[in-house]
Amino acid sequence: MEQDELKRQEDKCTQEYPPACTAGCPIHVDARKLMSDIKNQDLKSALATLQRKQPFPGIIGRICDHPCEDVCKRRDVGSPIAISALERFCVQNQAAKIAKGLKVPPKSQTVAVVGSGLRGLTAAYDLAKKGYKVSLFEKEDRLGGNLWNFSEHQLPPEVIVEELSVLNRLNVEIELKKRITKQDLAKLQEEFSVVYLGLAEQSNDVLELLGEQAVVDPVTCATQISGIFGGSLVSSHSPIRSVADGRKAAVSIDRYLQGVSLTGSREGEGSYETKLFVNTKGIPSLSVVPMSDELGGYTLDEALQEAGRCLNCQCLECVKACKFMESYGSYPKQYLRQIYNNDSIVMGMRHGNKMINSCSLCGQCAAVCPQGLDLGETCKATRQSMVSKGKMPQSAHDFALQDMAFNNSEEFALSKHQPGHYSSKYVFFPGCQLSASSPEQVEKVYAYLTEKLSGGVALMLRCCGAPADWSGNQDLFQNSLKALIAQWEGLGKPQLIVACSTCHSMFRERFPEVVSLWELMAKMDLPIQDVSVSGGKVAVQDACTTRHEPVIHDAVRQILTKLGYELEELPYSKELTKCCGYGGLTSFANPELAKKIVEERISESSTDYVAYCAMCRDNFAAQGKRTFHLLDLIFGTDLDKAVNRPSVRLSYRHENRAKLKRKLIHSLWQEVPPEQEGAYRAIKLQLNEEILEIMEERRILIEDIQQVIEMAERTGRKFINPDNGHSLAHFRPVKVTYWVEYQAQEQSFVVLNVYSHRMEIMEEGHE
């Protein structure tokens, strides 16, 4: 991924943008954190949160005119949070003290600030904190300007004095009763590096001092006279905007004294509209918590309740929906940076490999993201990039690719016209996973299609190539696709009918008029079932690879409705559906995560599920969820057994595919199936449930164990434990070394333990 593409994708993620209240505040007080501090009863942190942006929190916290509340998202579901009242609660609380400004290394430049209203006070405070030598000139006998016009109840005089005393600690020189005339201004220009007129633009004082040059740039606060800055707002009725105006001027003065641009990077100053997306759908409406004493403000309990109404505005729509994103504890913008850095490493450890390989590539993130950011798209492209450059170890996907090789081998692959036909209008492509999970259903569907459709229905058994595509191995994928296309062309390019949603997603852009089996069956008469169906209620699990296939979603629901079932929609369904953990090969790269994905999905409803993806059905069934495959309901045989049918183990998935091919060749085409190659197949094993579980977890097949034992017994290359007579042998057919501990027993072998690794056992004398 190039830098430009990284930036383009990062810009789609709104999570790091501030909430509306912070963006709407002219000085960007972090109201979201303030609410969190109050909810946690950490008033010291709350006061620190205020002071981080407010120059005089004891004052501002009491008089702020709260434009933040006008944009608070809580107003969409109730009343806006009483942020101003909660600020007042914090500064009135006597249990904590507000930290004061500290001295900083002094700078040589000097600044004259004229006027001690909130503009001048803020500019003086900010510049003094940066180390500038600031002198503050006030025409009255006390600092504060209009602050003294507030009622003593709202803003006690002692608070003004105490808050402004921080200027003394910052070594601001204060001159009271010093009215600046036009002549005085000329002297200030000579004595000071910069002069700031902390007065509203177009006020009488400014007009008197600057005359025709009393025009202030609204962006930089610069006047037409070099070195003189002024207030940029006409109105002084908003205390918080006056503070923002003084702060804007302080930024410009600092830049001016440093000799850098006054206009650059100022887009985020003042109030603005944030890009942060916040979904308020489904949030209960709550009104503002009333005060028991309007004059006294909130009590502690009332403040806690009011702060508790805060929505803690964030986007995280994708993180809420996706277990993968949640499990890695971050959000897309940070993931994108991690992926980019991982791909860019020339030498050293690539710690992001597992994260990149754990994504289901299902596209749900793009479907729920208001900006359409698809992290899976980036993960897939990065897998391809890293595989092409030899940077991505294929160990995580080794088993899946071997499984794909089996499915495209003579053991399973098949391409034949319908018996008695020499051409085909259609070809049924059931997919490798349905053939592994429910081979009997493949037989039923093929019989149904050949009965209902005229013109010949061919049968093609093999893998669509998805494992290679998902793993990032594009060379392997393209070669697999070429072989598939050659078989399809050999049949005369018939219309593809696919039962597997993944196959459909792989084919839809490559084959004309590819049609889903469900779309076809929804328009046809359904099979006459062996038993009566009483209907019932089922929750539909949409396959993630049908995310952009509303026709398939509708067809599945039409079929279920025809069968008399009441439908329940899961929280995320149709275009928002969740992956079952198989997509993108997640279950191979990160089985722990895949298990959590399934656990979360099957916990969303107590209703029986119905899936039209074989892997969805099997993954849910493996963790105890009563789940039908749609074909179970269509053919209607022994539904109680069907809904409780356990997931087919990996070894038997191979066996089911091979048996399906052999059975169809014999029963439909009256041909003698070819003998299965390999002497190892004659090895008979005794496997208990514990060993089968270990095999499933470690992805070791029966045929792997058979090959280890056959080679060991044939060559004598094995270790024998003299204490118990157990044999230990290994075999490395491709990249994985399999170890088996076993014991011969009559005409079979008892398997005692199995494991595998990817280290290569070197022969003596070899390097």
Closest CA to 134 of 142, 145, 123: 123
Helices 83-92 and 43-53 cross at an angle (nearest 10°) of 110
- Cβ neighbors of 676 (< 8 A, separation 6 or more) are 411, 658
Please tell me the predicted confidence (pLDDT) of residue 96.
47
Assigned token pair, 293: 């004493």
- Of residues 207 and 577, more confidently modeled: 577
- Mean pLDDT is lowest, of 8-12, 304-308, 394-398, for 394-398
Structure tokens at 81: 């949070």
Residue 735 confidence (pLDDT) above 80: no
**Is residue 749 helix, strand or coil?**
strand
C-alpha distances (whole Å) from 462 to each of 405, 487, 495, 560 are 9, 10, 16, 28
What's the pLDDT score for residue 762? 45
Assigned token pair, 289 = 């918590």
User: Model's pTM, two decimal places?
Assistant: 0.83
pLDDT number for residue 698: 87
Burial annotation 14-52 (CB, 10 A radius, 16+ → b, else e): bbebbbbbbbbbbbbbbbbbbbbbbbeeebebbbbbbbe
Higher pLDDT, 422 or 673: 422
What was the pLDDT predicted at 100? 53
Report pLDDT for 395. Answer: 83
* Predicted confidence band of residue 597 (pLDDT cuts 50, 70, 90): very high
Residue indicated by tokens 């991982």: 342
Distance CA 57, CA 569 (A): 51
Please provide the average confidence, as pLDDT, over all residues in the chain.
92
**Per-residue pLDDT averaged across 426-454, rounded?**
97
- Kind and range of the H or E element at 744? strand 737-745
Instruction: Read off the pLDDT of residues 662-719 as tens digits, 9 standing for 90 and up.
Output: 999 999 999 987 766 678 888 999 999 999 999 988 889 998 999 999 999 999 999 9
Give the mean model confidence (pLDDT) for residues 17-44. Answer: 97
Report the alpha-carbon distance of residue 344 to residue 392 in Å, rounded.
Answer: 12
* pLDDT, tens digit (0-9, with 9 covering 90-100), for 229-278: 998 765 558 999 999 999 999 999 999 999 999 999 998 899 999 999 99
- Say if residue 765's pLDDT is above 90: no
Give the whole-angstrom CA distance, residue 729 versus residue 718: 5
- Give yes or no for a contact between 49 and 274, defined as CB atoms under 8 angstroms apart: no
Give pLDDT tens digits for 313-360.
Answer: 999 999 999 999 999 999 999 999 999 988 887 655 677 899 999 999
| Axis crossing angle, helix 31-39 with helix 83-92, rounded to the nearest 10 | 60
Phi/psi for 748 (5° steps) reads: -140, -175
Q: Give the pLDDT confidence score for residue 69 in this predicted structure.
A: 97
